[in-house]
């Protein structure tokens, strides 16, 4: 059988590369993936938060090039884990073991998106000449 999972979404936190006892790099992160239909209230799509893990060079690539909010495309295997918690109750989780990761947007598109959020609109602030006094300074 073949397990292939492909997702496009935004990374929910800055990824940090960690190492196993054998010095193998890995990174765990979550990807916020919008569904292709509107949510219950009809204005925004529902979002699924996909748990992911990447190993070796893929982990190092993700930790180096992605920050919180960056768009990312991944391909990997869906894996499940089962265990019993401290109370003996069975627990179950699923995560994507990421084999490949790509940028989900170009650098230019990312910079434009970031500038729209942080930069004021043209003409929003008046430009003062050097001779003009500042309104909040008193003589």
Q: Which of 94, 137, 98 is nearest to 6 (CA)?
A: 98
pLDDT one-digit tens code per residue, 78-108: 999 999 999 999 999 999 999 999 998 777 7
- Cα 57 → chain centroid: 18
Q: Which fold has domain 5-118?
A: OB fold (Dihydrolipoamide Acetyltransferase, E2P) (2.40.50)
Instruction: Give the residue carrying structure tokens 């992605």.
Output: 66
pLDDT band for position 128 (cuts 50, 70, 90): low
Q: What pLDDT is recorded for position 135?
A: 56
- Cα 36 → chain centroid: 18
Q: Is the pLDDT of residue 136 over 60?
A: no
Q: Is the pLDDT of residue 70 over 70?
A: yes
pLDDT one-digit tens code per residue, 45-55: 889 999 999 99
């Amino acid at each position: 059988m073949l397990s292939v999972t492909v997702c496009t979404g935004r990374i929910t936190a800055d990824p940090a590369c960690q190492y196993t006892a054998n010095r193998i790099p890995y990174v765990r992160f979550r990807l916020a993936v919008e569904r292709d239909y509107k949510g219950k209230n009809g204005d925004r799509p529902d979002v699924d938060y996909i748990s992911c893990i990447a190993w070796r060079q893929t982990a190092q690539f993700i930790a180096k090039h992605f920050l919180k909010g960056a768009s990312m495309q991944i391909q990997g295997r869906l894996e499940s884990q089962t265990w019993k918690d401290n109370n003996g109750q069975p627990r179950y989780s699923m995560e994507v073991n990421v084999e490949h990761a790509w940028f989900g947007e170009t650098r230019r598109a990312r910079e434009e998106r970031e500038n729209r959020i942080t930069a004021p609109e043209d003409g929003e602030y008046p430009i003062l000449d050097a001779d003009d006094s500042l309104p909040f300074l008193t003589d």
